[in-house]
Structure 1
Amino acid sequence: MRLVIEHAAIATVDAAGTEHTTGHVVVADGVIESVGAGPAPAGAADRRVDATGCLVTPGLVNTHHHLYQWATRGLAQQATLFEWLVELYPIWAGIDDKTTHAAALAGLTRLAKTGCTTAADHHYVFPRGAGDLLAPIVEAAGQVGIRLHAVRGSMDRGESRGGLPPDSVVEDKDEALAATAEAIDRYHDPAPGSFVRVAVGPCSPFTVSTELMSEAADLARARGVRLHTHLAETVDEEQQCLAELGCTPVEYADRTGWLGDDVWLAHAIHLSDGAVARVGATGTGVAHCPTSNSRLGAGIARVQDLMHAGATVGLGVDGAASNEDAGLGVELRQAVYLARQLKGPGTATARDGLWLATMGGARCLGRQDEIGSLEAGKQADLAVWRVDGVEHAGIADPVAALVFGPLPPLRLLLAGGEPVVEDGVPRGVSEVDVAVGLRSASAALLEKVKR
Structure 2
Amino acid sequence: MPSILLKNATLLATFDDAGTELADAGVYIEDHLIKQVGASKDLPTHADQVLDLRDHLILPGLVNTHHHLYQTLTRVVAQDADLFTWLKTLYPIWAKLTDEAVYISTLTGLAELMLSGCTTSSDHLYIYPNDCTLDSQIRAAQDLGIRFHAARGSMSLGESQGGLPPDRVTENEAAILQDSQRLIETYHDPSEHSLLRMVLAPCSPFSVTADLMRETAHLARQYSQVRLHTHLAETLDEEQFCLAKFGLRPVDYVESLGWTGCDCWHAHCVHLNAAEIQKFAQTGTGVAHCPTSNMRLASGIAPIPQMTRAGVKVGLGVDGSASNDSSHLLAEARQAMLIQRIAPHQYSSSMPLGGRGGFAGDPAAMSAREALRLATRGGAATLGRHEIGSIEVGKSADLIAIDLNRLNYAGAGHDPVAAAVFCHSFRVDLSIIHGRIVVERGQLLSLDMTKPLQRHREISKMMLTS
Answer whether TM exceeds 0.5 for this pair. yes
TM-aligned CA deviation for residue 37 of structure 1:
2.4
- Secondary structure at the counterpart of residue 405 of structure 2: coil
- Secondary structure at the counterpart of residue 292 of structure 1: helix
Are 1:441 and 2:459 an aligned pair? yes
Superposed CA offset, 1:56-114 (max 9, x none): 00100000000111111110100000000000011111111111111101000000000
TM-aligned CA deviation for residue 43 of structure 1:
4.0
Q: How many Å separate the matches in 2 of 1:142 and 1:40?
A: 35
In the alignment, residue 282 of structure 1 is paired with which amino acid? T
In the alignment, residue 189 of structure 2 is paired with which amino acid? D
What residue in structure 2 maps to residue 314 of structure 1?
315
Q: How many Å separate the matches in 2 of 1:417 and 1:42?
A: 17
Are 1:263 and 2:281 an aligned pair? no
In the alignment, residue 63 of structure 2 is paired with which amino acid? V
- Secondary structure at the counterpart of residue 45 of structure 1: coil
What residue in structure 1 maps to residue 137 of structure 2?
137
What residue in structure 2 maps to residue 394 of structure 1?
411
What residue in structure 1 maps to residue 432 of structure 2?
414
What residue in structure 1 maps to residue 196 of structure 2?
196
- Secondary structure at the counterpart of residue 49 of structure 1: strand
In the alignment, residue 49 of structure 1 is paired with which amino acid? L
Q: How many Å separate the matches in 2 of 1:278 and 1:193?
A: 30
What residue in structure 1 maps to residue 176 of structure 2?
176
1:151/1:199 contact within 8 Å kept = yes
TM-aligned CA deviation for residue 199 of structure 1:
0.6
In the alignment, residue 382 of structure 1 is paired with which amino acid? L
Superposed CA offset, 1:385-414 (max 9, x none): 112212112111001110100215422100
What residue in structure 2 maps to residue 358 of structure 1?
376
Identity, in percent, stands at: 47
Superposed CA offset, 1:248-272 (max 9, x none): 0000011011111111100000011
1:386/1:408 contact within 8 Å kept = no
In the alignment, residue 434 of structure 2 is paired with which amino acid? G
1:71/1:103 contact within 8 Å kept = yes
2:145/2:433 contact within 8 Å kept = yes
Are 1:220 and 2:202 an aligned pair? no
1:24/1:40 contact within 8 Å kept = no
Find the partner of 2:391 among 350, 364, 374: 374
In the alignment, residue 149 of structure 2 is paired with which amino acid? H
In the alignment, residue 433 of structure 1 is paired with which amino acid? K
1:387/1:408 contact within 8 Å kept = no
Instruction: Give 1:286-297 correspondences, 5 Å limit.
Output: 286-297=287-298
Q: How many Å separate the matches in 1 of 2:44 and 2:151?
A: 43
- Secondary structure at the counterpart of residue 39 of structure 1: helix
What residue in structure 1 maps to residue 352 of structure 2?
none
What residue in structure 1 maps to residue 55 of structure 2?
53
Q: How many Å separate the matches in 2 of 1:408 and 1:325?
A: 12
Are 1:237 and 2:255 an aligned pair? no
What residue in structure 1 maps to residue 210 of structure 2?
210
Q: How many Å separate the matches in 2 of 1:65 and 1:273?
A: 27
Instruction: Give 1:5-154 correspondences, 5 Å limit.
Output: 5-8=6-9, 9-127=11-129, 129-131=130-132, 133-154=133-154
- Secondary structure at the counterpart of residue 156 of structure 2: coil
- Secondary structure at the counterpart of residue 15 of structure 1: coil
Q: How many Å separate the matches in 2 of 1:51 and 1:445?
A: 44
- Secondary structure at the counterpart of residue 171 of structure 2: coil
In the alignment, residue 266 of structure 1 is paired with which amino acid? A
Q: How many Å separate the matches in 1 of 2:426 and 2:200?
A: 35
Q: How many Å separate the matches in 1 of 2:141 and 2:276?
A: 35
What residue in structure 2 maps to residue 165 of structure 1?
165
In the alignment, residue 305 of structure 1 is paired with which amino acid? Q
1:105/1:434 contact within 8 Å kept = yes
Q: Structure 1 residues 408 and 124, CA, compared in 2 at 3 Å: closer, same or farther?
A: closer
Q: How many Å separate the matches in 2 of 1:284 and 1:409?
A: 32
TM-aligned CA deviation for residue 431 of structure 1:
3.1
Between 437-446 and 392-401, report the one with greater CA deviation: 437-446
1:125/1:170 contact within 8 Å kept = yes
2:27/2:43 contact within 8 Å kept = no
TM-aligned CA deviation for residue 40 of structure 1:
4.3
What residue in structure 1 maps to residue 302 of structure 2?
301
Q: How many Å separate the matches in 2 of 1:371 and 1:32?
A: 10
2:429/2:443 contact within 8 Å kept = no
Superposed CA offset, 1:347-388 (max 9, x none): 2111101100001000111102x1100000111000011122
TM-aligned CA deviation for residue 279 of structure 1:
1.3
What residue in structure 2 maps to residue 425 of structure 1?
443
- Secondary structure at the counterpart of residue 406 of structure 2: coil
TM-aligned CA deviation for residue 146 of structure 1:
0.6
Runs of 4 or more off by more than 4 Å in structure 1?
none
2:28/2:44 contact within 8 Å kept = no
Between 339-348 and 198-207, report the one with greater CA deviation: 339-348
Between 241-250 and 134-143, report the one with greater CA deviation: 134-143
TM-aligned CA deviation for residue 2 of structure 1:
1.4
Q: How many Å separate the matches in 1 of 2:309 and 2:284?
A: 11
Q: How many Å separate the matches in 2 of 1:410 and 1:68?
A: 23
In the alignment, residue 353 of structure 1 is paired with which amino acid? A
- TM (norm. structure 1) is 0.97
In the alignment, residue 312 of structure 1 is paired with which amino acid? K
Q: How many Å separate the matches in 2 of 1:96 and 1:142?
A: 19
RMSD of aligned C-alpha atoms? 1.1
TM-aligned CA deviation for residue 41 of structure 1:
2.2
1:25/1:40 contact within 8 Å kept = no
Q: How many Å separate the matches in 1 of 2:426 and 2:89?
A: 35
2:117/2:427 contact within 8 Å kept = no
- Secondary structure at the counterpart of residue 391 of structure 1: helix
Superposed CA offset, 1:212-236 (max 9, x none): 1111111111123100000000000
TM-aligned CA deviation for residue 445 of structure 1:
2.1
Q: Structure 1 residues 82 and 353, CA, compared in 2 at 3 Å: closer, same or farther?
A: same
Q: Structure 1 residues 222 and 47, CA, compared in 2 at 3 Å: closer, same or farther?
A: same
Between 322-331 and 81-90, report the one with greater CA deviation: 322-331
Q: Structure 1 residues 408 and 4, CA, compared in 2 at 3 Å: closer, same or farther?
A: farther
Q: How many Å separate the matches in 2 of 1:433 and 1:401?
A: 34
In the alignment, residue 403 of structure 1 is paired with which amino acid? V
In the alignment, residue 395 of structure 2 is paired with which amino acid? K
- Secondary structure at the counterpart of residue 361 of structure 1: helix
